[in-house]
Amino acid sequence: MIKNFIYLDEYKMYSLSSQIFEGITEYVSNSSNEETESNVLEKLGEGKVLADILKKNDTTQEKKYLHDYSYTVFEKHLIENDKVLDINKTENFINSIGSKSFIKITGKVIFNDIENLSKSIKEHNKMANSLIGVQLRASLNKKSTKKEKSSINQIIQNEATTMDEQFLKDLGYLLDFGFGNQLEIQLEYNDNLFSTNLNEKYLREDKKLVIKKYGQKTEKEFTIFGIVTQYQKLNKRTMKENPSNNFKIALMNAVLQQNEVKLSFTGKLENEIMIDPIAIYTEL
């Protein structure tokens, strides 16, 4: 199958590959106007294939990787060596999570663009008023009287469905505080939620364009390949009071309470599995 990548963390992939293949990141270097191929890696097979496609430009010293092909070799090697838990092919997978180094899952996903969501919430009333205003002005014909046109602002004010400004401001603040400009992908499978936060640096296209192409809730199935970072139920920490350390106890309790507030935003759900993504792609 041909992979159509929307996300590929090349740095993480090559970092792991260098350990798996024992020196894969040695590259063929270009110097001045002639290309000298000095492959210091003597190991044959997949490791040599990946070493051969790593090159360094003589002027900019910028490494140019054939990332997509490198990834197919990387994933193929891991699967063949039983390092990957394929969720879609594993019965009772929940008991197997943590048993393999890598995880792979395929399904329809939801894009959560927190930055855009926060902006939309803060601008809700303005957008609602603008939408009604455009619709009303479009309905007026050229023969409408000045009185009819001048009263349109009053009509907008009466018709607009507005929300409390302070509520919207507070909700926007909480989103910014809890999630920042986070771009999240979520995939539901067998009553479990698989979530991953993306580094926009490794997106193949601008996030707005990706969401525009595939939709916030996609019809196309995506494959997420990465490393599980959280999957067990979170336990709350408690402090035992010691009379001789009252200030320290109070300070630590304050820290724990602050952490509980943050966990209400960033903490995972009981049925949620968090993935550190290496690649996300569709198959053609």
Section 32-41 average pLDDT: 39
Indicate the pLDDT class of residue 34, thresholds 50, 70 and 90.
very low
Rounded alpha-carbon distances, angstroms, from residue 271 to 43, 150, 247: 43, 56, 37
Residue 57: the pLDDT is 41
Rounded alpha-carbon distances, angstroms, from residue 143 to 132, 155, 195, 236: 21, 19, 56, 68
Section 243-269 average pLDDT: 60
Q: Which tokens hold the place of 182?
A: 């986070």
Evaluate the CA torsion angle 218, 224, 228, 229 in order and state its sign: negative
| Predicted model pTM | 0.69
Indicate the pLDDT class of residue 167, thresholds 50, 70 and 90.
confident
- Cα 131 from Cα 118, distance rounded (Å): 19
Can you tell me whether residue 98 is helix, strand or coil? coil
* Total length of the chain: 284
Contact 211, 127 (CB under 8 A): no
Reported as a single tens digit per residue, the pLDDT across 40-56 is 334 445 555 555 555 44
Using a 10 angstrom Cβ sphere, with 0-12 exposed, 13-18 middle and 19 or more buried, the burial of residue 202 is buried
CA 34 remoteness from chain centre: 41
Q: How many CA atoms lie within 13 A of 153 on its CB side?
A: 3
pLDDT at 266 over 70: no
